[in-house]
Amino acid sequence: MRSDVAIVGAGVIGWSIAAHLLRIKPNLRVEVLDALPSFGMGSTGKAAGGVRAQFGTEINVDLSLYSIMRFEELQEKTDIGFRQYGYLFVATSDETDSYLDLITPMQRQRGVPVERLTRQQVAELAPYLNTQDVVSGSFSRADGYLDPYAVCQAFEREARALGALARYGKSIDALPGATTVVIAAGHWSASVGQFLDLELPVSPEKHQLAMTESAPGLPGRLPMVVDLATSFHFRKEGERLLIGYNDPLGDPNESTEAFDFGFLERMAEVGLHRLPLLENVGFDTKKCWAGFYAETPDHHAIIDRIGDVVVCTGFGGHGIMHSPAAGQAAAELVLYGHSSTFDLSPLRLARFAEEDLTHEPMVI
């Protein structure tokens, strides 16, 4: 039987779309297709799991606020590891300090409970940091982090319980006939678009994460901490730390997911300055990995309908945190041709041809 909707991509975005579609229209025939052997095996399972509303553009703030509300509801039903311990951004220059001053009013106006912190307040909130060169900080207690795979699994289970079908281990050549096709294939989306005669400016960008060995003495409610100057960031993972860093000497265009162990040495150079306790903590080299962001030129997703194709991709590392909002928005595009929940005009595909881009500066 022909499907009503075929979703290409069995990561968190694809299964969120399937679940949201079937919540709205339970009798819909929905099929999820992926070349990998199971769900969440692409970038979803390799994400750091950060969730924040502290962005620099209104649309990203709106997607985050909606998603945080839904994550709170989901956490009450099943443990997705959602820990709202906050996100702390640290500014170490007049430029980054001024930028935080610029975007904070917009964030507050849209409902983000963000606080601007002095250097002393940063030191009090995060005494484990070296704050000698810190100018200020930005903190929201509603932000936090979660388990990416658990979120994907929750959407997959809901969608399957409502009747969604899955076809794993199938290439794009096996795309079934359907009334509507949804592209939610992350950094593979450009090739899926080509198959459907659609040009999508989405490219893979390699990012790496490192896990420390046990780091005793860390506070229980450790926030995600981000050094704006270097992109060095970390959060707690049990008794360990999960650390990321946009390595300027790495090759973001590298096509393999092999972990570059030189990353640890380069990251430690900036990390030790901000987080001195790393001097006494080793890395678990068996738990360090690489994955890909699905990047667009302006660091915003594409959520749009073009004929019988709905595009929901290019989240640039924000796919996990925006997955509930993406699922709702894409489901509305499939069913109604437009979204009533969000103003998706900043995320339309045509913005690239029109050169009407709005760049998101708060990327990690």
Which pLDDT belongs to residue 307?
Answer: 97
Q: 224 or 175: which carries more pLDDT confidence?
A: 224
Which pLDDT belongs to residue 165?
Answer: 96
Say yes or no to pLDDT of 329 above 70.
yes
Structure confidence by residue, pLDDT tens digits, 193-246: 999 999 999 999 999 999 999 998 888 899 999 999 999 999 999 999 999 998
Query: Is the CB of residue 87 less than 8 Å from the CB of residue 52?
Result: yes
**177 pLDDT tier (thresholds 50, 70, 90):** confident
Structure confidence by residue, pLDDT tens digits, 275-315: 999 999 999 999 999 999 999 999 999 999 999 999 999 99
Query: Is the CB of residue 2 less than 8 Å from the CB of residue 177?
Result: yes
Which pLDDT belongs to residue 254?
Answer: 77
CA–CA distance, 304 with 320 (Å, rounded to integer): 19
Give 165's strand partners. 31
Say yes or no to pLDDT of 174 above 80.
no
Which pLDDT belongs to residue 323?
Answer: 98
Query: Picking from 95-99, 255-259, 337-341, 358-362, which range would have the lowest pLDDT averaged per residue?
Result: 255-259
Q: What is the CATH T-level fold of the domain 3-47+148-202+296-354, as seen in this structure?
A: FAD/NAD(P)-binding domain (3.50.50)
- The number of residues making up the chain comes to 364
Where in the chain are the domains?
A: 3-47+148-202+296-354, 206-218+235-291
Say yes or no to pLDDT of 176 above 90.
no
Looking at the chain, the whole-number percentage of residues with pLDDT higher than 90 is: 90
Residue 61 corresponds to which tokens in the numbers above? 């703030």
Say yes or no to pLDDT of 147 above 70.
yes
How many C-beta neighbours within 10 Å does residue 257 have?
15
* Over residues 92-103, mean pLDDT: 96
Handedness of CA 218, 84, 140, 294 (dihedral sign): positive
Structure confidence by residue, pLDDT tens digits, 104-129: 999 999 999 999 999 999 999 999 99
Which pLDDT belongs to residue 28?
Answer: 97
Q: Counting Cβ atoms within 10 Å, is residue 282 exposed (0-12), middle (13-18) or buried (19+)?
A: exposed
**192 pLDDT tier (thresholds 50, 70, 90):** very high
CA–CA distance, 117 with 136 (Å, rounded to integer): 6
Query: Is the CB of residue 304 less than 8 Å from the CB of residue 349?
Result: yes
* Over residues 134-162, mean pLDDT: 98
Say yes or no to pLDDT of 255 above 80.
no
Which pLDDT belongs to residue 170?
Answer: 81
Overall pTM > 0.85: yes
Which pLDDT belongs to residue 19?
Answer: 98
Mean pLDDT taken over the chain: 95
Which pLDDT belongs to residue 1?
Answer: 64
